[in-house]
Every structure is written in structure tokens, then in C-alpha cells.
Amino acid sequence: MTTPFAVIVDAAAYAQAVEDAVKASAAYYTGGTSALDDDAYDRLVRGIAAWESEHPEQTLPESPTGKVAGGAVEGDVPHTVEMLSLDNVFSPEEFTAWTASLARRIGHDTERFSVEPKLDGLAIAARYTRGRLTRLITRGDGRAGEDVSHAIGTVEGLPAELAEPVTVEVRGEVLMTSAQFEYANEVRTSHGGAPFANPRGASAGTLRAKERAYTVPMTFFGYGLLPLADTETALADRLGGLAHSELMTLAGELGVNTTATTAVPGVTADTVEQVLARVTEIAALRAELPFGIDGIVIKADLAADQRTAGSGSRAPRWAIAYKLPAVEKITRLLEVEWNVGRTGIIAPRAVLEPVEIDGATITYATLHNPGDITRRDLRLGDHVMVHRAGDVIPRIEAPVAHLRTGDEQLIVFPEVCPRCGSAIDTSEQRWRCENGRNCHLVAALSYAAGRDQLDIEGLGHTRVVQLVEAGLVADLADLFALTRDQLLALERMGETSTDNLLAALDAAKAQPLSRVLCALGVRGTGRSMSRRIARHFATMDNIRAADTEAMRQVEGIGTEKAPSIVAELVELAPLVDKLVAAGVNMTEPGATPPAPVTDDGSASGSGSGSGSTDEGASEGGPLAGMTVVVTGAMTGALEKLSRNQMNELIERAGGRSSSSVSKKTTLVVAGEGAGSKRAKAETLGVRLATPDEFAALVADHLDPL
């Protein structure tokens, strides 16, 4: 679907739109401080173009439609070959129309396309003389750019020396990864500066800064390779004849970073259908990438086709940018809510002026913790950059500080728990009510009774509220002390529902230790970590006896998490004792406790000390040594299993469950509707299995579930 455009009603509105677009472009390319987000700018420029198509005689010379992006930016270093922008398309129909236009220009259908992600950064030209990096130049107005050679040595992926002593120009994009952006804002705010609004703006501002008291890293991805005036004749002739995909291969061989090293490498495609399929794949992976992309670049791959198609004043005719829906928008921060979770964690949440991002209306965004608010210097009334990609929870990147009016107000942090009025423990980044779980008992009990924890059918949120308000339940263990007479005395509790609930509570006592541990809601753990801890230690007694060093032996528990888990288990000791007295199971079926450690530090006996199981989580299991990801809807024998039960099944069969696909993934079980994870698996060459194929593989381990 075509992106909507700003409606311009008369010549005065057109002139104002041109002025706004030129100012926004100049601000973005000089310091990343544009008042418009990408979507607003694109709609404005498309509106300008629509007006000009109907009133060509009124086109202003400063209009952005005929100029290279950033054309208002001055530069004094001439480009050897003009550094052009790209025209945009926003739908399969517009892309198909563009390919037809390209075919008419070159006299035949394009034989081969290259397809790459459109990186959301700042374009630069890097000049190498006899293999050494000597100059960095911004795009500027396309004809000349600004010398930013002072940034040499701060950009990862742009080597100081190539693998061969050749004289060439590498063109590409400088950006900040998510991790680099977080670090940049930490350093910038620690030096008294306002935080960057987003990674793209951070890259633009950082690249041009010459006299800062600090440096922050950036990353380069190459997308072009061309000769300079003094390039060796043989090499210049070679570069002129190589296809774009071959140039990128050569760039990689020279040591330059390209998208080939990412989850979305550049590929070639022979047909429009193949291109659009790749567009869909890249779009599906967008939310998981460690850097921003705002579209996909499609080029005629062959050098001959590029020469025949030629270029206009603004953009080459042999390349196009297929823009994706914006994942960042500017809106206002209206309020901060302080919500108390089931373990007593007090979490801030941003209330936003509603804004539409990628088809969803966003009114709330995560703020993580009070330290996050302070670090980002957020204030009520701020214009903020909000990021949302795919199903990722919307988050505030940073305030757009240059849009402040002076009317913004400091965010007031709570002095007591906003739920119960108790004191707040502020010793850690995430603040917590000193009443802990008891502050939000209903949430804690509802979570414990859930399908993936104790699976107590009939104990929904409403029933939990009823039990708590009646004074019958003050903690998890009290559930197992409920009597038939107590339940019958409650409203809407007949004999059948009472007996069913008592039966469900009795069945819950037999749940494996991993589910009991998960139901307790130990901070720093979840379903997966609870399973790992239970399988490692085998019994609750072993878990409670573990010190920090012993807890660190569990996969995924590091030096920071181990102490808090041990401390939390000490805090929960009285509740665990009550559960034991109530007859709740405290062992993990099939798990073997870790072998004791001898005086010389080695494990004694034949056990591995890793909590292996004899029911599939051993070397003989069908998934032994495999990391498995499940995505999409399961069918057949797996249809009724929750995602948590699927993960339990994987681990019973000897494997390790994971929620994300990477090079370390061994198998992806892809059900109906599998999207980005399946696409990423295909990109990485990870083995895929249907639900039926997976069920057959682990058939011997299905019955216990």
C-alpha cells in the first residue's frame, strides 16, 4: 500500500512545505536534529512531488524532489563520481512499475537484481591510497561533501588498511548498532550532553563532531566500490566490468564490512517475484536486527545494465529503495505510570500522545526502570522518539531535546509503593516494594496458578481475588489448605466447581519441581531458567543449599544473577517450608543431582555434575546437543501443547530450547504462520522441521506430557 502523502492545497502551502522539508533535511544531515521523523518527512516530500506534478510551472528551485538527499548541506571536497540518493517505492505495485520502466530504458527485462537491506545511517565515501585509509567524506549535496577524516579509527568495519595495497573508494553507510547507541548516550549524558534521539541522529552528529572530550564507536557497511583518478588501470578496468554482487564480494575480500556478515546478507534474484520474496524475508527479520534498516535496496546487478539505464540529477535509474513502514515516530510524553508487578517490582510506564507506528496505535511505551528515566533525561511534555518493530514492545529511545520549549516538567519518582504505601527498596536498578509478593498477592497467585506453572484449572483471576478478599489465602501455600466448606461458603461456588477446584489443587501438588520453582516467581528466572535450575539440582533441598558459586554452574546464570537468586531463595524459605508441609512435590522427575566436589575441585563419582536426566536429557536423547527453536502454530500430536510444554519436551529429549534463531541454532520447528524466525533460519541455513516431523523425532518423550 502506498504511503499517504501530505495534502497541499495552494501555492502558499507548497512554499511552506518546501521550506519545512529543506530545513528538516539540513538539520538531519548536519547533526541528526530534524524536527520530523522519517515517515513525516517522506509524506511531506511526496506531497510536494504531487503538487509539482500538477503545477510544474510553480516548482521552486530549492525543492527537495530534484536534489540529492541532504542537498542543503555544504561540502568542499568534490566527489569523483556524484554520490546520488535513491528514489523510493512503497508497495509491490510501485516496484513492479519501476521494473517495467527499467526494462524500457535498457531494452530488455533485467537479467539479475541485487537485493540488500537499506541501512538507516549516514552515507560516506572512504578513500584508500595504496591500501591505506586516507580520507572520509560525507555525501553532502552529491557533488561535494564534508571532510570527516577526523573520525578515522572510530568506525568499526572500515579498516585502516586493506588486505591489498590498492587505491579505491569504498562507499557505504555509517550507523550505530543498538548496543553502540546505548553506550553513546551513556557517555554523552555523563559529559553533560543531551541524549541522542535515535541511532541515525547519533551517527550523523558523532561523525561530524571534531572536538569532543570523548569518542564513541560506530559501524560501517559497504555498498559500493569504485576507482579513483589514480587507481591502477587494470584494477579500474576490472571494477568497471564487475556486477554489483561481485563488487561486494571483492570489498569483503579486501577487509571491508558488508551485509554479508549479517542475518540479512545481500543476495541476487532473477525475477520480480524473487525480489519481492526477499523483501518479505528481510522485513520479517527487521525487529531482530542489531541495527536499524528502513527499507530494501534493489539494483540492476549487471554493470552493463547500469550503464545503459544511466542516472538522473538526484538518483540512479538502475536502483530503487523499497521503503518499509516507519518503526520510529515522534510524539509527546504525557505522563508516567508506576505499576507494581507480581513480585513487587515497581515499573514505570510511559503514557504517550497516541501515534500510529507500523499499523498500530501506540499509547504506552516501556521505560525499564527509574535509572533509565534519569539517564535519558526524560521530562513530562517532552517530544520523544518512540520505536516499535514487529511485536516488540514500544520503547522510548530518547527525548528530542532540541524541540523543548521550557514548559517540560521533571518526572517525580514515588517515595512509597504506589500500590500499598510501603517503603521501597531502591538498592537495585529495578525498584521493589518491601512487601514483595504480598504487595500484589492476586497477581502472584494468578501467575502461579497459570497453565505453564502449577496449571490449577478453575483458579482464574476472579476466583483468586475472591479468595484473597475473603481472607482465606495470604500466600501460595494457603491454596493447598483450602477446605470444601470454605469454598462452598463463597459466592458462585457450587459443589461441582468446588470439587473440581480441590481436585485441581491436589493434582498441582504433583507438578515437577521446575513448575513449582517457576510458580514461586524467583526474580531473575522464568520458565526456561526454572527448568534449568531444577534439572541441574534435582531437588529443592539441593537448590536451597546452593551458594552463589554453585548457582553459577547452571547454564545462563552469571555472576550478577546468581547472588540475587540465592538471596531470593533464602527469602522464600518460609513459604517453601509451608509448601513442603502441604505435600507439594519438590523433586524433578528423572533429574540427577550434581556430583559432590572433592578436595581437589573435581566431581566425584560417575555423574557429570550437570544435572543430567535419564529421560532423554542425556547423551542418548534424540535431541542431544541440539538447540531447538519453536515458532508458529503446532498441529497434530503437538497441537494441544503450550509453548512452555514444547520447551519441556525439547529438554526431556536431551535438547536445549531457545526463543531466538542464531548460527548456534540446530533445528527450527516451524508451524503454521511461522514468520521472521523461519525466514532467519532459511537465511542462516538452519535445519527446518514441520510439527509432524518433530513429533516423530521425539515420539518416545511425548507421553509424560
Residue 639: CATH number of its domain: 3.40.50.10190
Cα-atom radius of gyration of the chain, to the nearest Å? 30
Residue that finishes a domain, picked among 357, 375, 410: 410
Domain CATH for 248: 3.30.470.30
Closest CA to 177 of 262, 256, 290: 290
Judge whether 278 lies within some domain: yes
End-to-end Cα, the chain, rounded Å = 45
Domain CATH for 21: 1.10.287.610
Judge whether 420 lies within some domain: no
pLDDT higher than 80, residue 691: yes
Question: 230 burial class (0-12, 13-18, 19+ CB within 10 angstroms)?
Answer: exposed
| Window from 85-94, 277-286, 385-394 with minimum mean pLDDT | 385-394
Domain CATH for 482: 1.10.150.20
With H, G, I as helix, E, B as strand and everything else as coil, classify residue 580: helix
Q: What is d(CA 154, CA 207) in angstroms, rounded to the nearest whole number?
A: 9
Q: What is d(CA 502, CA 484) in angstroms, rounded to the nearest whole number?
A: 8
- Average pLDDT estimate for 223-243: 93
With H, G, I as helix, E, B as strand and everything else as coil, classify residue 401: helix
C-alpha cell at 291: 541495527
Residues 142, 285, single domain; the answer is yes
How far CA 514 is from CA of 524, 530, 591, 621, 625, in Å, comes to 15, 5, 11, 20, 21
- Residues 107 and 259: beta-carbon distance below 8 Å: no
Number of domains in the chain: 6
Residues 302, 186, single domain; the answer is yes
- Residues 402 and 382: beta-carbon distance below 8 Å: no
Residue 313 is classified by DSSP as S
Strand 656-658 relative to strand 627-631, pairing: parallel
pLDDT higher than 90, residue 219: yes
Residues 45, 165, single domain; the answer is no
Residues 59, 95, single domain; the answer is no
CB neighbourhood size of 574 (10 A): 10
Residues 181, 141, single domain; the answer is yes
Residue that finishes a domain, picked among 267, 297, 323: 323
pLDDT (0 to 100) of residue 502: 96
Judge whether 480 lies within some domain: yes
C-alpha cell at 631: 515458532
Q: What is d(CA 629, CA 399) in angstroms, rounded to the nearest whole number?
A: 36
Kindly report the average pLDDT of the chain as a whole number.
87
- Average pLDDT estimate for 605-629: 58
Q: Residues 604-610: contacts with CB within 8 Å, 24+ apart?
A: 609/553, 610/536, 610/553
pLDDT (0 to 100) of residue 390: 65
pLDDT higher than 60, residue 613: no
- Residues 226 and 175: beta-carbon distance below 8 Å: no
- Average pLDDT estimate for 550-564: 87
pLDDT higher than 80, residue 307: yes
Residues 538, 652, single domain; the answer is no
Q: Going by C-beta distance under 8 Å and a sequence separation of 6 or more, which residues neighbour residue 297? A: 86, 115, 116, 117, 118, 223, 319, 320, 321, 322
Q: What is d(CA 454, CA 584) in angstroms, rounded to the nearest whole number?
A: 10
Judge whether 371 lies within some domain: yes
Structural domain harbouring 31 = 11-66
pLDDT (0 to 100) of residue 189: 83
Residues 406, 498, single domain; the answer is no
Residues 113, 259, single domain; the answer is yes
Residues 358, 263, single domain; the answer is no
pLDDT (0 to 100) of residue 705: 53
Judge whether 415 lies within some domain: no
Judge whether 3 lies within some domain: no
Closest CA to 122 of 208, 213, 217, 231: 208
Q: How confident is the model at residue 609 (pLDDT cuts 50, 70, 90)?
A: very low
Residues 306, 341, single domain; the answer is no
Residue with the larger pLDDT of the pair 673 and 690: 690
pLDDT higher than 90, residue 322: yes
Residue with the three cell numbers 531463595:
569
- Average pLDDT estimate for 502-511: 95
pLDDT (0 to 100) of residue 606: 39
Residues 495, 535, single domain; the answer is no
Residue 57 is classified by DSSP as G
pLDDT higher than 80, residue 620: no
- Residues 113 and 299: beta-carbon distance below 8 Å: yes
- Angle between helix 573-581 and helix 561-571 axes, rounded to 10 deg: 50
Residue with the three cell numbers 571532510:
147
Residue that finishes a domain, picked among 481, 508, 535: 508
Residue 428 is classified by DSSP as S
Residues with a known catalytic role: 118
pLDDT (0 to 100) of residue 455: 93
Q: What is d(CA 295, CA 307) in angstroms, rounded to the nearest whole number?
A: 24
For the whole model, what pTM was predicted?
A: 0.66
Judge whether 427 lies within some domain: no
With H, G, I as helix, E, B as strand and everything else as coil, classify residue 683: helix
Q: What is d(CA 414, CA 421) in angstroms, rounded to the nearest whole number?
A: 10
Residues 140, 239, single domain; the answer is yes
- Residues 516 and 586: beta-carbon distance below 8 Å: yes
Domain CATH for 365: 2.40.50.140
Judge whether 422 lies within some domain: no
Residue with the larger pLDDT of the pair 66 and 104: 104
